[in-house]
C-alpha cells in the first residue's frame, strides 16, 4: 500500500490501463467461427425455416458458454442466417456470400433443392453442406463435403404404409407439396405403396409454400374416393390441407411426409381430433426420454415456451457435432479435415446434446440413427417402430 501511495494520478491511470489491456488480451485473441444458414425465413415455410435455425442458435449459445478452444485458440461460435425463400437459386447466392464474406466453413440448408444447388460448387469452394433433408440422393451423389443430418425418408414408407393399409384401406390419393423435396418423396412413395399391394387413385401435388386455399385440389383428389391421403410440406400448410380435407368430408387416414410434424399441425387445426389416423415422424414432444425432455426445457427457456420440432433437434446436435469435429481436427477453417472428423464428432457427444441418439456418420456422409414414427390414435400420439421385422 505504501508503494502505491507514492504514485501520482497519471501513473495510476497508466497502471490501470496496462492492467486492463493484460486482462482483455485473451478475449481479444478469441477467434469467431461462423456457421452459415440459408433457409426460408419468409413466405409459407418461414416457420419451418425458423425452427431449423433456432436449433442451431441454441447450440451456439451452449458452445460459447463452454468456452471451447480449437487448435489451441479460444473460439466463439456465431450463426449467420440468410433468407432464401425456399428458392434454390437464392440458396446458391447466399452460400457464395456466406463463404466469401463471412468465411463460413459450413453452410446448413434445410431443403433439398437448395442442397443440390450447393453440391455443384461446395467441393471446389471448400465448404461443408450441412444438409437438413432426408432425401437419399443427397448422399448418393458422392459429394465428399456433405453431411446429411436426418435419417433417409425411405425408411418410413413401408411401416407407415402398412399401418394405414391395415386400418383404412389400400387406395391412396397423393396431394403432397410440389417443391423438390415433395417430388422426391412422391417418387419413392408411389412404387413403395404399390409394392405392398396398394393403388394410387389420384396424383395432384399442390403449391404448399404459396397457397392457403387447397379446397380445389383436395376436392379433385377426394373425387377418386381414396382411403388414405398422402400429404406433406411444412407443418402449417400441411395442417390446412388436412383441415380442409376433413371439412370436405374425408374420413380416412393421412400419410404425412417427414417435413411436417404432427404436434405442430395439431396447434394449427385446434387439436388432435382432425389428425386422427395420421402417421408421420415421431414429434420431439412425444419422446419421453430424460435427455429429450431436458433439451425441450432448454429450448423453451431460450425461445419463450416454444416446443421444438425434429428440425430444431437434429440441427442442434449437428452444430454440436460440427464443433466437436473442429476440435478433433484442430482447425475451424479446413472443411476437408472437419468433415473427416464428423463421425468421431457425433460419437464423442454426450447424450445431453445428442438427445435424438445419432450413432455416427456413414461413409457417404449420412447420419446413422434409430428413428421412430408417430401415429395419432384416440387423440394421442403413439410410437410406431420403423425397423423392419
CB-based contacts of 361, cutoff 8 Å, min separation 6? 147, 342, 343, 346, 367, 368
The predicted model gives 227-237 an average pLDDT of: 94
Determine the length of the chain: 389
How far is 275 from 377, CA to CA, in rounded Å? 9
DSSP state of 377: E
Confidence (pLDDT) at 19: 46
Confidence (pLDDT) at 10: 52
Confidence (pLDDT) at 385: 80
Q: What is the topology classification, in CATH, of domain 154-285+373-385?
A: Rossmann fold (3.40.50)
Confidence (pLDDT) at 45: 85
Least confident of 58-62, 186-190, 193-197, 207-211: 207-211
SS (H, E, C) 24-44: HHHHHCCEEEEEEEEECCCCC
pLDDT digits (tens, 9 = 90+) for 236-282: 999 999 999 999 999 999 999 998 999 999 999 999 999 999 999 99
The predicted model gives 41-52 an average pLDDT of: 91
Asked if the domains at 31-152+289-370 and 154-285+373-385 fall in one CATH topology, the answer is yes
CB-based contacts of 199, cutoff 8 Å, min separation 6? 170, 171, 172
Beta-strand pair 31-39/106-109: parallel
Do residues 157 and 188 lie in contact, with contact meaning Cβ atoms separated by under 8 Å? yes
The domain ranges of the chain are 31-152+289-370, 154-285+373-385
pTM of the model: 0.80
Confidence (pLDDT) at 13: 45
Instruction: State the residue for C-alpha cell 464428423.
Output: 342
CA dihedral 361, 364, 365, 367 (to 10 degrees): -40
- Can you tell me whether residue 350 is helix, strand or coil? coil
User: How is domain 31-152+289-370 classified at the architecture level of CATH?
Assistant: 3-Layer(aba) Sandwich (3.40)
Amino acid at each position: 500500500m505504501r508503494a502505491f501511495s507514492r504514485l501520482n494520478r497519471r501513473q495510476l491511470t497508466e497502471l490501470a490501463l496496462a492492467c486492463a489491456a493484460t486482462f482483455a488480451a485473451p478475449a481479444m485473441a478469441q477467434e469467431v467461427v461462423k456457421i452459415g444458414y440459408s433457409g426460408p425465413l419468409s413466405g409459407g415455410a418461414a416457420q419451418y425455416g425458423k425452427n431449423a435455425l433456432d436449433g442451431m442458435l441454441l447450440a451456439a449459445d451452449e458452445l460459447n458458454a463452454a468456452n471451447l478452444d480449437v487448435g489451441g485458440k479460444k473460439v466463439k461460435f456465431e450463426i449467420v442466417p440468410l433468407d432464401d425463400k425456399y428458392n434454390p437459386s437464392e440458396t446458391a447466392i447466399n452460400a457464395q456470400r456466406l463463404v466469401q464474406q463471412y468465411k463460413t466453413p459450413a453452410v446448413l440448408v434445410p431443403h433439398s433443392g437448395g442442397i443440390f444447388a450447393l453440391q455443384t460448387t461446395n467441393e471446389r469452394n471448400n465448404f461443408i453442406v450441412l444438409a437438413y433433408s432426408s432425401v437419399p440422393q443427397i448422399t448418393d451423389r458422392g459429394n465428399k463435403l456433405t453431411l446429411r443430418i436426418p435419417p433417409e425418408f425411405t425408411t418410413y414408407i413401408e411401416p407407415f404404409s402398412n399401418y394405414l393399409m391395415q386400418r383404412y384401406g389400400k387406395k391412396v390419393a397423393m396431394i403432397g407439396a410440389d417443391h423438390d423435396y415433395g417430388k422426391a418423396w412422391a417418387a419413392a412413395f408411389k412404387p413403395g405403396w404399390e409394392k405392398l399391394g396398394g393403388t394410387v387413385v389420384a396424383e395432384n401435388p399442390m403449391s404448399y409454400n404459396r397457397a392457403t386455399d387447397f379446397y380445389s385440389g383436395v376436392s379433385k383428389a377426394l373425387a377418386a374416393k381414396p382411403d388414405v391421403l398422402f400429404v406433406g410440406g411444412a407443418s402449417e400448410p400441411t395442417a390446412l390441407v388436412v383441415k380442409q380435407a376433413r371439412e370436405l368430408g374425408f374420413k380416412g387416414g393421412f400419410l404425412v411426409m417427414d417435413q411436417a410434424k404432427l404436434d405442430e399441425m395439431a396447434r394449427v387445426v385446434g387439436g388432435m381430433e382432425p389428425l386422427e389416423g395420421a402417421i408421420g415422424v415421431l414429434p420431439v414432444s412425444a419422446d419421453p426420454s430424460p435427455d429429450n425432455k431436458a433439451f425441450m426445457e432448454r429450448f423453451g427457456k431460450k425461445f419463450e415456451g416454444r416446443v421444438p420440432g425434429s428440425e430444431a433437434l437434429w440441427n442442434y446436435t449437428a452444430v454440436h457435432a460440427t464443433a466437436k469435429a473442429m476440435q478433433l481436427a484442430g482447425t475451424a477453417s479446413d472443411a476437408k479435415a472437419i468433415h473427416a472428423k464428423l463421425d468421431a464428432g457425433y460419437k464423442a457427444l454426450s447424450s445431453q446434446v445428442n438427445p435424438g441418439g445419432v450413432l455416427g456418420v456413414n461413409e457417404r456422409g449420412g447420419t446413422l440413427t434409430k428413428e421412430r414414427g408417430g401415429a395419432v390414435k384416440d387423440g394421442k400420439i403413439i410410437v410406431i417402430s420403423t425397423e423392419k421385422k
